[in-house]
A and B are shown apart, each in its own frame.
Chain A
Amino acid sequence: MLTSESLKRIDREIAKYPADQKQSAVMAALAIAQEQQGWLSSEAIECVAGYLGMAPVAAYEVATFYNMYDLQPVGKYKVSVCTNLPCMLTGGVDAGEYLKNKLGIGYNETTPDGLITLKEGECMGACGDAPVMIVNNRRMCSWMNPEQIDQLLAELK
């Protein structure tokens, strides 16, 4: 079920580790599988485990331990807002509330059209840029005041 493009990327990750330590590539491989599929199904996890020669349960342990893996389908865009203390002091919690109002959903919910899933995130290591949010685990958005959030939402189509 993994495309040849995904497998090529996984091979590049495997090459970073000693020949007998293919399992080290599991985090990257799961991230690649998630990118391809939009989320991580059990089938995808098992496929990654098989490719790396690990027990499926070992790959499943990793997928459930790290919180950027989505074990349930999410919207086309997943927006994670940091509300941890440094961000909270400069508007992180308010930014989350603003998004909830705008989208009409709560945390861990998806808009009815399947476009946006909202998540409350933990420290993203960008506290000086608060409020911060990450779109689809990849794009960090900094200094998100109401105007910036409106712009972002207009862009996410």
Chain B
Amino acid sequence: MAILGAINPMLSLDLDGDNAWRLADYVKRGGYTALRRILEEKQTQEFVINEVKKSVLRGRGGAGFPTGLKWSFMPRSFPGDKYVVCNSDEGEPGTFKDRDILRYNPHAVIEGMAIAAFAMGASRGYNYIHGEVWDIYERFEEALDEARAAGFLGSNLLGSGFDFELFAHHGYGAYICGEETALLESIEGKKGQPRFKPPFPASFGLYGKPTTINNTETFASIPYIINLGGETYLDAGKANNGGTKLFSISGHVNRPGNYEIPLGTPFATLLDMAGGIRGGRQLKACIPGGSSSPVVPATAMMECTMDYDSISKAGSMLGSGAVIVMDETTCMVKALERLSFFYYEESCGQCTPCREGTNWLYRVVHRIETGRGRADDLDLLSSVTTNIMGRTICALGDAASMPVQSFIKHFHDEFAYHIEHKKCLVPVEVQRAGSGFFTATA
């Protein structure tokens, strides 16, 4: 069982056993009834889009954009090819929920994509899967074969006259392909460099055709919304934050893993579910929504509930629901140094402010961490971030800048100490002990 804990789960309900991912098991727990109902009862596209709007399902990939609204942007009656694309290129540090959804409940994604395709008049879809999780890609291919054989994919689905073909496409190591237009470029067989917007994918997407891209968890939630009704799904979460969500908890907790909870659940409850902080130590800070979201200090974090609005009020973002927990053994300069290196490595190189700026951010944080920091380095970092933000085609530059700004804002003293004393406030032995590597037992 992959999902370590849950409160009122939907997506992770009854996933026990090695065959939970198989079509037969999915059908046994009510799978494909939503698609069947829509096609057999001859529901309209408007009905489906309205249910999704009523559910206030917000995109689970990071941006939190209302899914129903996104779907309504598609020119449904546009003649010719239209596409639905699933973004399973899960590479945001801290995020590992889509891997488990695809591993244990892949048919929910397939059914959700088929329903989405019906609602938007698309006849072809692709699921872009992170190249590093190869076993998941292979399993998804197998799940697709099962769905084709059972008539849930292909032409004339369940005798309705509606056609939908779905295929898996794998990435091969590029974080930027999680950006939706870079992902489209990548499916087209090119470098994954984001496109300038507008035009948006709904008018000019894959191969220049109308396209809607949603996250894996978003698609997987669709069958549950249709079965329960949009309003019931909304009530499972809280106002403006419909439904339950998977949270990936990593870092200094006793039981890192995925947890499904209603949006609006207190962070303290989630932390308890994950077994609390390792070794009875104190929480220092938390990155609540994947590495690109601003860091939140312990006290503020403990007051948050896990939903888009509460985390936003605390000055950060719910993002993909990836909660990186850091305890008192963490050196914040070292933590930021590693993140900055990541963005420098993964900048696609297209926009100068990001290509050059992420390099500057990494080199300056690196020299602070290695005891060569200069008195005006914090001002320099701040100036580099303001010169990146808002000046690039995609959000990677902003994503690289926000951690820098928030780490320095909340842990200014720690950075200043590093610069002045050429060493860390947290002794290296303490940091090492914090990782638990040398004391771990199998």
Q: Contacts of B339 on A, CB cut-off 8 Å? A: 84-85
Stretch in B110-118, B296-304, B429-437 with 4+ CB within 8 Å of A = B429-437
Q: Please tell me if the beta carbons of A84 and B189 are within 8 angstroms of each other in the complex.
A: no
Q: Please tell me if the beta carbons of B250 and A123 are within 8 angstroms of each other in the complex.
A: no
Given A90-B252, A90-B437, A127-B94, 17 other A-B contacts at CB below 8 A?
A: A24-B169, A28-B170, A31-B131, A31-B172, A62-B189, A66-B131, A85-B339, A86-B251, A123-B291, A125-B98, A125-B133, A127-B96, A127-B250, A128-B96, A146-B437, A146-B440, A148-B442
- Sort chain B's interface into a size bin: 35 or more
Given contacts A122-B345, A125-B130, contact A68 B172 (CB under 8 A): yes
A65-101 vs B, Cβ < 8 Å mask (1 yes, 0 no): 1111100000000000001111111111111001000
Q: Please tell me if the beta carbons of B437 and A125 are within 8 angstroms of each other in the complex.
A: no
Q: Contacts of B258 on A, CB cut-off 8 Å? A: 128
State in angstroms the CA–CA spacing of A21 and B170 once bound together: 16
Chain A interface (Cβ < 8 Å from any Cβ of B): 16-18, 21, 23-28, 30-31, 52, 54, 58, 61-62, 65-69, 83-95, 98, 121-131, 134, 137-140, 143, 145-148
Q: Which 10 A-B pairs have the closest CB atoms?
A: A91-B437, A23-B189, A94-B437, A68-B173, A86-B250, A127-B250, A67-B173, A145-B440, A66-B172, A16-B167
Q: Please tell me if the beta carbons of A127 and B93 are within 8 angstroms of each other in the complex.
A: yes
> Is residue B190 within 8 Å, beta carbon to beta carbon, of the partner chain?
yes
Stretch in B54-62, B322-330, B354-362, B365-373 with 4+ CB within 8 Å of A = B322-330
Expressed in whole angstroms, the minimum distance between the Cβ of B346 and any Cβ of chain A is 7
State in angstroms the CA–CA spacing of A52 and B346 once bound together: 27
Q: Contacts of B291 on A, CB cut-off 8 Å? A: 84-86, 123
Q: Please tell me if the beta carbons of A27 and B342 are within 8 angstroms of each other in the complex.
A: no
**In the complex, which of the residues B170, B251, B287 has the most CB atoms of chain A within 10 Å of its own CB atom?**
B251
State in angstroms the CA–CA spacing of A109 and B258 once bound together: 35
A-B CB contacts (within 8 Å), total count: 189
B337-349 vs A, Cβ < 8 Å mask (1 yes, 0 no): 0110010011010
Q: Please tell me if the beta carbons of B324 and A65 are within 8 angstroms of each other in the complex.
A: no
Q: Out of B92, B98, B186, which one reaches A27, CB within 8 Å?
A: B186
Expressed in whole angstroms, the minimum distance between the Cβ of B335 and any Cβ of chain A is 6
> Is residue B441 within 8 Å, beta carbon to beta carbon, of the partner chain?
yes
Interface of B is mostly: mixed
Q: Please tell me if the beta carbons of A58 and B326 are within 8 angstroms of each other in the complex.
A: no
Given contacts A94-B432, A122-B345, A140-B133, contact A89 B250 (CB under 8 A): yes
11 contacts between A and B (CB under 8 A): A21-B189, A28-B169, A85-B287, A85-B291, A89-B250, A94-B432, A123-B91, A124-B91, A124-B133, A126-B133, A127-B322
State in angstroms the CA–CA spacing of A24 and B190 once bound together: 8
Q: Please tell me if the beta carbons of A125 and B187 are within 8 angstroms of each other in the complex.
A: no
Expressed in whole angstroms, the minimum distance between the Cβ of A53 and any Cβ of chain B is 11
State in angstroms the CA–CA spacing of A16 and B206 once bound together: 14
Residue of B nearest to A138 (CB): B134
Q: Out of A62, A89, A124, which one reaches B190, CB within 8 Å?
A: A62
> Is residue B95 within 8 Å, beta carbon to beta carbon, of the partner chain?
yes
Within 8 A of A (CB), among B398-427: none
Q: Please tell me if the beta carbons of A85 and B335 are within 8 angstroms of each other in the complex.
A: yes
Expressed in whole angstroms, the minimum distance between the Cβ of B191 and any Cβ of chain A is 4
Q: Please tell me if the beta carbons of B438 and A94 are within 8 angstroms of each other in the complex.
A: yes
Q: Please tell me if the beta carbons of B135 and A68 are within 8 angstroms of each other in the complex.
A: no
Q: Contacts of B436 on A, CB cut-off 8 Å? A: 90-91
> Is residue B249 within 8 Å, beta carbon to beta carbon, of the partner chain?
yes
> Is residue B201 within 8 Å, beta carbon to beta carbon, of the partner chain?
no
Q: Out of B167, B171, B249, B438, which one reaches A66, CB within 8 Å?
A: B171
Residue of B nearest to A86 (CB): B250
Q: Please tell me if the beta carbons of B438 and A146 are within 8 angstroms of each other in the complex.
A: yes
> Is residue B164 within 8 Å, beta carbon to beta carbon, of the partner chain?
no
Q: Please tell me if the beta carbons of B96 and A61 are within 8 angstroms of each other in the complex.
A: no
Q: Please tell me if the beta carbons of B187 and A24 are within 8 angstroms of each other in the complex.
A: yes
**In the complex, which of the residues B91, B172, B186 has the most CB atoms of chain A within 10 Å of its own CB atom?**
B172
State in angstroms the CA–CA spacing of A143 and B124 once bound together: 38
Expressed in whole angstroms, the minimum distance between the Cβ of B428 and any Cβ of chain A is 12
Q: Please tell me if the beta carbons of B190 and A61 are within 8 angstroms of each other in the complex.
A: yes
Q: Please tell me if the beta carbons of B249 and A27 are within 8 angstroms of each other in the complex.
A: no
Expressed in whole angstroms, the minimum distance between the Cβ of B175 and any Cβ of chain A is 6
Q: Please tell me if the beta carbons of B91 and A122 are within 8 angstroms of each other in the complex.
A: yes
Q: Please tell me if the beta carbons of B175 and A122 are within 8 angstroms of each other in the complex.
A: yes
Q: Contacts of A98 on B, CB cut-off 8 Å? A: 437
State in angstroms the CA–CA spacing of A121 and B339 once bound together: 13
Residue of B nearest to A151 (CB): B442
Q: Contacts of A87 on B, CB cut-off 8 Å? A: 250
Q: Please tell me if the beta carbons of A84 and B93 are within 8 angstroms of each other in the complex.
A: yes
Residue of A nearest to B186 (CB): A27
Q: Please tell me if the beta carbons of B335 and A24 are within 8 angstroms of each other in the complex.
A: no
Q: Please tell me if the beta carbons of B324 and A89 are within 8 angstroms of each other in the complex.
A: yes
Q: Please tell me if the beta carbons of A94 and B435 are within 8 angstroms of each other in the complex.
A: yes
Q: Please tell me if the beta carbons of A27 and B170 are within 8 angstroms of each other in the complex.
A: yes
State in angstroms the CA–CA spacing of A58 and B190 once bound together: 7
Within 8 A of A (CB), among B210-266: 248-252, 256-258
Within 8 A of A (CB), among B86-110: 90-96, 98-99
